[in-house]
Amino acid sequence: TPCKKQNPTMEVLKHVTCGTAGKPLRIIQITDTHLFPEGVTSFKNEDTTVDMKKSGYSNKTAKEYLALLIKQVRPDVAILTGDIIDGRPFGEHKRTDWLRTIEEFIDPLVDAGIYWSFTPGNHDDDGAPYSRKDLLDIYSLPYCLSKGANTFDHTITVGPSEKEGVRLWLFDSGENSPDKNIRYTSFSLASVAAHKLISKKLRERKEKLPGLAFFHIPLPQYMYNHPISGTLGLFDAARNKGQVPRFARYFPWLVKLFGADRVAGSSMLDSGLFESFSREGNVKATFCGHDHYNDAVMWRDGVYLCYGRVCSYTPPIDWEGKGGPLPFEFGARIVEVRPDASVATWVQSKDGIEPKSYVPLEHRDRAPAGLCARILCSNVTLKVVNFIAILVILVYVLMFPQYRSAEELEEEAKIEAGLL
């Protein structure tokens, strides 16, 4: 099948009351902590073995950051968007205490009485001695919004009341695919269909709550968008690791000139979920992780596309050092939903709100793209422009006369004059 069909339906869970009436509801997104089993000091991946102590990595950074950010932001809800644990060291060291590892990590949330939920990433069960289905046991932990859920794909409303708050849509964005050309198995087709069906019922009920979607791997539509705020550093990291085509390795300036560096680590399969969000109009913004070097906010066809910010320091966070240093500090993305249903987001680091990261997620502030803009900014146009640019350079190199000195040109002129 082109996309993974893990679950037959998308669950609709009961409303969870939290926050204070008449005041903003704050959500903190925690992503890609890649927690290791307690006591593990080394990590082997591909051709690299990392000594965590010698290299300065720490499994405690994420929990310390979480506690600090809770103190600063005082969120009402936390969403953990995947790769919270990393299954590979659990498998390598034959450890099965993964649930305890997560339980210890969320201690600051539980101690503060903050509701939270979880969406799986591609590494939570990667190479692990437990299955992806086992990860559903996470929903049994204290203060989990999704308690009782039988699938990772579900929707739930949170807030002071059912008429004041926000509708959350949580999705499993897929696992690593055995087919490297596909990369990841993508979203469940059944859940995409369920989103359309549920959306129809919500329209009939005239629900007016803003909708926010959370998942781990970015949608294909995260590709080639101009960032409103934040950084898209995945291309530079992939170039550092040698994972880009040879042309891009030697001519990165040309790639960036045409915006082809604005890449995302999405599946090569398109489940149709973004089209459903855009068409139904009930998801104002999406939030993902996965691409450690990206933290941008973008906008496309009526939907804001947002990245979280990593806040951990275990070997996978910078690709075992092969991706180069992160282009920003550790932190987390904050989402604020106000009583009038307006939404804003920013990145919070240890020093507070990061400068220039505050973005109001209001469609009325952005004019819809006209036909010319849609054509000029489409993925097809970018590919055609890139192809033409490469073709021009090749023709120039092959056809343009080789460089000749002034003496050579003078001698050639004399020869031509003698022949005449």
Mean per-residue pLDDT over the chain, rounded: 89
Q: Spell out the SS3 assignment of the chain.
A: CCCCCCCCCCEECCCEECCCCCCCEEEEEEECCCECCCCCCEEEECCEEEEHHHHCCECCHHHHHHHHHHHHHCCCEEEEECCCECHHHHHHCCCCCHHHHHHHHCHHHHHCCCEEEEECCCCCCCCCCCCCHHHHHHHHCCCECCCCCCCCCEEEEEEEECCEEEEEEECCCCCECCCCCCCECCCCHHHHHHHHHHHHHHHHCCCCCCEEEECCCCCHHHCCCCCCECCECHHHHHHHHCCCCHHHHHCHHHHHHCCCCCCCCCCCCCCCHHHHHHHHCCCCEEEECCCCCECCEEEECCEEEEECCECCECHHHHCCCCCCCCCCCCCEEEEEECCCCCEEEEEEECCEECCCCCEECCHHHCCCCCHHHHHHCCHHHHHHHHHHHHHHHHHHHHHCCCCCCHHHHHHHHHHHHHHC
- Model confidence at 4, pLDDT cuts 50, 70, 90, reads very low
Q: Which residue has the higher pLDDT, 417 or 356?
A: 356
Q: Tokens 């000139």 label which residue? A: 257
pLDDT at 364: 45
* Alpha carbon distance 308, 214 (integer Å): 10
Q: Which residue has the higher pLDDT, 17 or 3?
A: 17
- Model confidence at 55, pLDDT cuts 50, 70, 90, reads confident
> Which stretch of 189-198, 208-217, 391-400 has the lowest confidence by average pLDDT?
391-400
* Alpha carbon distance 370, 367 (integer Å): 9
pLDDT tens-digit map of 107-143? 999 999 999 999 999 999 999 999 999 999 999 999 9
- Structural tokens at position 147: 């308690």
Query: What's phi and psi for 346, nearest 5 deg?
Result: -160, 170
> Which stretch of 222-226, 277-281, 355-359, 368-372 has the lowest confidence by average pLDDT?
368-372
pLDDT tens-digit map of 332-390? 999 999 999 999 999 999 999 999 999 999 864 444 444 555 555 566 666 677 678 77
pLDDT tens-digit map of 152-172? 999 999 999 999 999 999 999
Q: Tokens 């006369």 label which residue? A: 401
Section 70-79 average pLDDT: 97
Section 12-33 average pLDDT: 96
Return all residues near 330 (Cβ < 8 A) that are at least 6 apart.
Answer: 61, 65, 309, 310, 311, 312, 313, 349, 350
pLDDT at 51: 87
* Alpha carbon distance 116, 214 (integer Å): 12
Beta carbons of 127 and 87 less than 8 angstroms apart:
yes
Q: Most confidently modeled of 42-46, 51-55, 240-244?
A: 240-244
Return all residues near 413 (Cβ < 8 A) that are at least 6 apart.
Answer: none
Q: In this model, does residue 394 exceed pLDDT 70?
A: yes
Beta carbons of 290 and 83 less than 8 angstroms apart:
yes
pLDDT at 46: 78
- Model confidence at 42, pLDDT cuts 50, 70, 90, reads confident
* Alpha carbon distance 326, 77 (integer Å): 27
